[in-house]
Structure 1
Amino acid sequence: MRAFFHPDQHLHDPKQFMRVGRIADPTDLPSRTEALMAALTRVGIAPQVPEDYGTAPALAIHKPHYLDFLATAYERWVKLPNAGPEVLPNVSPYWNGSPDRDGRPPCRSSHVVAEAGYYLGDLAVPLGPQTWRSALSSTHTATAAADAVLAGERLAYALCRPSGHHCRTDRASGFCYLNNSAIAAQRLRSRFAKVAVLDVDAHHGDGTQEIFYRRADVLTVSVHADPQIYYPFYIGYADERGSGEGEGFNLNLPLSAGSGDEPFHAAVARGLEAVAAFGAEALVVALGYDSHREDPLSVLSVTTDGFAGVGRLIGAAGLPTVVVQEGGYQVSVIGDCLERFLTGLAG
């Protein structure tokens, strides 16, 4: 297995995070990648630095005006009188988030405060001085892993940070600025006629769902905590099946609060059955550890060993697979979770 990581991904260092009405300490810290790098060392994998792909892979998924905002917002923000240390919205437009609606036009106002409200979907995506650089580097990591599989590797791991699965074509949210899993899936489509994305993060992959919701060539499957009680709340329900040509090619498998290893594994197995029925030729796994019972954001109760079971199930599918890192915020356990997952994946 080959793995990829760019050191610039460490640079994103958020200072604030709004949670239930309070400014909380951020959970997406650079120390997350250090723990995951240590786990790779323990299993004998030395990550490679990806090449610089520029913005082309991101533009295959995201709107140009959205990338322009990410690239320029911080410099414009700090020029405002009394600006805070990071770009965060204080106004938001009303927009129906249903994935079967047409995409949004560019923001009508070019003021950075207006654009912050338009392109940042919540208060968990602060833009700091290095956020754009880190997020773009994260897309390079995902692209390099996809290219490794395109070149014949059966398994490749993209240690992405910031994460990506909540990011839509033109909206950041939930610690996610560019959708690495979607970028990897789109890259794989250059060779494979059918690609599946299996998201096993505790949070529904709403951005990935929106991106592929009208397409029949990419199946999206998400195993996650029930959105009735858990972020992202407004999307991720079992009746969301795709739209137009994509109808029937989205599968959501919500889990009730407190679900542990057994229901988690059963849902992953069901998702893999859908992947097989779809006839996927390659697989992207959006891997998060925030379903772990010790995660500070978790409402699920998956154990560390539970991730070995997930890895075994995915490995048994036998598909060329890109594993893209998503969430998981308890630094003391995420390295062990990755180690168990990779051991299970390799059989």
Structure 2
Amino acid sequence: MLTFYSDDHHLHHGRCELIDGRLMPCFEMPSRADHVVQRVRSRALGEVREPQDHGRQPIERVHSTEYLDFFQGAWARWQASGGEGDILPFTWPARSLRAIKPTHLLGELGYYSFDGGAPITAGTWQAAYSAAQVALSAQAAIEAGAHSAFALCRPPGHHAASDVMGGYCYLNNAAIAAQAFLDQGRSRVAILDVDYHHGNGTQAIFYSRSDVLFASIHGHPEFEFPFFLGYADETGEGAGEGFNYNYPLAAGSAWEVWSQALEQACQRITASDAQVLVISLGVDTFMLDPISQFKLDSPDYLKMGARIAALGLPTLFVMEGGYAVEEIGVNAVNVLEGFERALKELHP
């Protein structure tokens, strides 16, 4: 399997995030991607390639120009104003306020954010831009004939909506790749989000559309971030009705329960007649993940990959979460190896 990866992810390393009422060192750190790429290489999964630069236009197919301009220019404005440290929002347009865009940098940051978990540093734009190019390059490899590819993206993307950042995410890599498939001739794409946290950004982007089926298996938002999206009754709207499926699960769910949701999601994908599959590959479902509450073990990720392979679709894996840093490489690559092994058994 081809892997696409950029060292530019090291340019983004936030000092802190606002979590559980405290400013804490960021759980989303460069060593996450470092461990994964090291595992890819040590397991001889396949060639690791640098991404090509596809420009900003494919990103603009998913994210608004205004949002991208703000994000790209935020650090320079912060520096020009004499700001020090990372940029973090502290005010948001809650229900009692107007959803109006201010002119002050920090006001705009609150307008374009939904939490205090996406710090902007000097290198955040370039790291996120390069992550999007990683996803687009892996997507292009599949369009060129590869059956599967792995986009080792960092920072992750599935919490980012068209004009909102948050949850460590700035540009929605999986959504950008899915839109690229459509723009290049595919009529329907399926996105399966296996991250512990609901892919609220991806859902929001495609919620009223029938050309992308979105399915997410995640911790129930009654008790888990992002809290305000990811319930089972969210099934799409307008043309998108029936193309959105959420499988919120209880804390402590292990493979026996989680795999039942996976089976249901896979059956929905099969029924959708999707031509290509994008996997938002989060491995924070692992039993030792420090900010998650599922109980999957490392061998379970081999079985996950095998079930995904049985769908028989060209498949793009896009890296999302996973914060048990020592095990992230094993678990992510187990999914890919399980996929590859099952594929060989299906097509010897």
Amino acid of the structure 1 residue aligned with 2:89? P
Q: Which residue of 1 aligns with 2:215?
A: 221
Of residues 81, 101, 104, the one that matches 1:108 is: 101
Amino acid of the structure 2 residue aligned with 1:6? S
- 1:32-81 deviation line (CA, Å, top 9, x unaligned): 11100111112212310011112112101000000011101111112335
Q: Which residue of 2 aligns with 1:57?
A: 58
Structure 1 stretches of 4+ moved >4 Å: none
CA contact (8 A) 1:88 1:120 kept: no
Per mean C-alpha deviation after superposition, the further-off stretch among 109-118 and 174-183 is 109-118
- Distance apart, 1:223 and its partner CA: 0.5
Q: Which residue of 2 aligns with 1:260?
A: 254
Q: How many residues align?
A: 338
CA distance in structure 1 between the partners assigned to 2:71 and 2:128 by the alignment: 9
1:68 is the counterpart of 2:62: no
Q: Which residue of 2 aligns with 1:88?
A: 88
1:158 is the counterpart of 2:151: yes
Of residues 107, 110, 118, the one that matches 1:125 is: 118
Q: Which residue of 2 aligns with 1:101?
A: none
Note the 1:304-343 alignment, pairs <5 A: 304-343=298-337
* Aligned CA-pair RMSD: 1.4
Q: Which residue of 1 aligns with 2:346?
A: none
CA contact (8 A) 2:101 2:111 kept: no
CA distance in structure 1 between the partners assigned to 2:135 and 2:95 by the alignment: 30
Q: Which residue of 2 aligns with 1:181?
A: 174
Q: Which residue of 2 aligns with 1:20?
A: 20
Amino acid of the structure 1 residue aligned with 2:88? L
CA distance in structure 1 between the partners assigned to 2:171 and 2:6 by the alignment: 15
Amino acid of the structure 2 residue aligned with 1:18? L
CA distance in structure 2 between the partners assigned to 1:310 and 1:67 by the alignment: 35
Q: Which residue of 2 aligns with 1:290?
A: 284
CA contact (8 A) 2:135 2:177 kept: yes
Per mean C-alpha deviation after superposition, the further-off stretch among 329-338 and 87-96 is 87-96
Q: Which residue of 2 aligns with 1:344?
A: 338
CA distance in structure 2 between the partners assigned to 1:48 and 1:204 by the alignment: 29
Residue identity over aligned pairs, in percent, reads 40
TM-score, normalised to structure 1, is 0.95
CA contact (8 A) 1:3 1:145 kept: yes
Q: Which residue of 1 aligns with 2:187?
A: 193
Amino acid of the structure 2 residue aligned with 1:316? A
- 1:238-259 deviation line (CA, Å, top 9, x unaligned): 0000000000100000111000
- Distance apart, 1:294 and its partner CA: 0.5
- Distance apart, 1:95 and its partner CA: 5.5
Amino acid of the structure 1 residue aligned with 2:41? T
CA distance in structure 1 between the partners assigned to 2:151 and 2:120 by the alignment: 23
CA distance in structure 2 between the partners assigned to 1:165 and 1:272 by the alignment: 19
Per mean C-alpha deviation after superposition, the further-off stretch among 296-305 and 174-183 is 296-305
Amino acid of the structure 1 residue aligned with 2:199? G
TM-score, normalised to structure 2, is 0.95
CA contact (8 A) 1:220 1:249 kept: yes
The answer for unaligned runs of 5 or more in structure 2 is: 343-348
CA contact (8 A) 1:166 1:176 kept: yes
What SS does the corresponding residue of 1:173 show, helix, strand or coil?
coil
What SS does the corresponding residue of 2:298 show, helix, strand or coil?
coil
Amino acid of the structure 2 residue aligned with 1:241? T
- 1:304-330 deviation line (CA, Å, top 9, x unaligned): 111111100001111001000000011
